[in-house]
Amino acid sequence: MTQTHTDYRLSQLDQLEAESIHIFREVAAEFEKPVLMFSGGKDSIVMMRLAEKAFYPAKIPFPVLQVDTGYDFPEVLATRDNWVNRLGVRLIVASVEEAIRDGIVIDDGKTSRNRLQIGTLLNAIEEGGFTAAFGGGRRDEEKARAKERVYSHRDEFGQWDPKMQRPELWSLYNGRLHEGEHMRIFPISNWTELDIWDYIGREGIEIPSIYFSHQRRVFERDGMLLSESEHNPLRSGETVEERTIRFRTVGDLTLTGCVESTASTIDEIIDEVAVARVTERGATRGDDRFSEAAMEDRKKEGYF
């Protein structure tokens, strides 16, 4: 048995963990068909860990859904497979490539894979008949997220209406749905980027290797460092060089930039995050840069 808490003090990280576990259990108890949206990124890995803890020693009582853009980092897919195998959960892969082939989404050559994920995701939710989908969104990430509920209601088109959000009080969540609607659930809403790293460090859990410093052939585009890849044809004037970098976020590799860094351990990453002067999305996500309200617009359409 672990030692007695004589002062009955719970650190903020333990409080966040307790709150998230409460949310996972609440959803598993009240929704017919939940699913966990797993990207392989650090936030969704923390979600997996919390779900593991919430139901232990039972298995996680819902499947895991990944939207495969076709442009995912191989290191991320490897980590995904390790997690899914260790926990013995069912993995559903919704492929953007297949969605394009089946005419579910239209690739006009101008729309990013990130944006094409929306239609692919909504189709997978509808096809699976899922009534609740866990997402790894955090309120510290972005202004529109700062106002989103833990239980975020989506209409039958998968849309989010920021003005019609249900009040959310105490730890009482309202999971009522009509036919065809679903709920997005954000169990780590109150976590910050630093909390995520502290937790990964404390738990000693596996994350994709690209979060740690490594040598990579990269080029600069729109002020971001992107990975050399067959999916990333060079434009005129762009040149590839090898640099010591790491990724702060994980997504579609044509849009996800890296930062120069020598941080090769969790502690070094934490030191780096603690003094970072730019938000992780601002630094490395091309998809959030197009307008001040980019995230709000994508969320209304049904983004994660």
Least Cβ distance, residue 197 to other proteins (angstroms): 9
Residue 229 CA to its chain's centroid (Å): 23
Residue 276 near residue 249 (C-beta atoms within 8 A): no
Nearer to other proteins, 7 or 230 (CB): 7
Amino acid at residue number 77? L
Distance between CA atoms of 296 and 102, rounded to whole angstroms?
28
Least Cβ distance, residue 32 to other proteins (angstroms): 14
Least Cβ distance, residue 127 to other proteins (angstroms): 23
Distance between CA atoms of 246 and 38, rounded to whole angstroms?
21
Nearer to other proteins, 108 or 179 (CB): 179
State the DSSP code for 142.
-
Distance between CA atoms of 98 and 191, rounded to whole angstroms?
34
State the DSSP code for 161.
-
Nearer to other proteins, 19 or 75 (CB): 19
Least Cβ distance, residue 217 to other proteins (angstroms): 26
Nearer to other proteins, 59 or 101 (CB): 59
Strands 64-68 and 34-37, sheet pairing: parallel
Nearer to other proteins, 229 or 262 (CB): 262
- Residue that the structure tokens 């709920």 belong to: 183
Instruction: Name every residue whose Cβ is closer than 8 Å to that of residue 10 and which is 6 or more positions away in sequence.
Output: 18
Least Cβ distance, residue 302 to other proteins (angstroms): 17
Nearer to other proteins, 32 or 108 (CB): 32
Q: At what angle do helices 193-203 and 266-274 cross, to 10 degrees?
A: 160
Q: How far is CA 94 from CA 39, 66, 97, 125, 252, in A?
A: 11, 6, 9, 9, 14
Beta bridge partners of 172: 169
Least Cβ distance, residue 1 to other proteins (angstroms): 5
Least Cβ distance, residue 267 to other proteins (angstroms): 8
Strands 214-221 and 224-227, sheet pairing: antiparallel
Least Cβ distance, residue 92 to other proteins (angstroms): 22
Nearer to other proteins, 23 or 94 (CB): 23
Write the burial class of residue 116 (CB in 10 Å: 0-12 exposed, 13-18 middle, 19+ buried): buried
Q: How many CB atoms lie within 10 A of CB 64?
A: 23
Nearer to other proteins, 166 or 217 (CB): 166
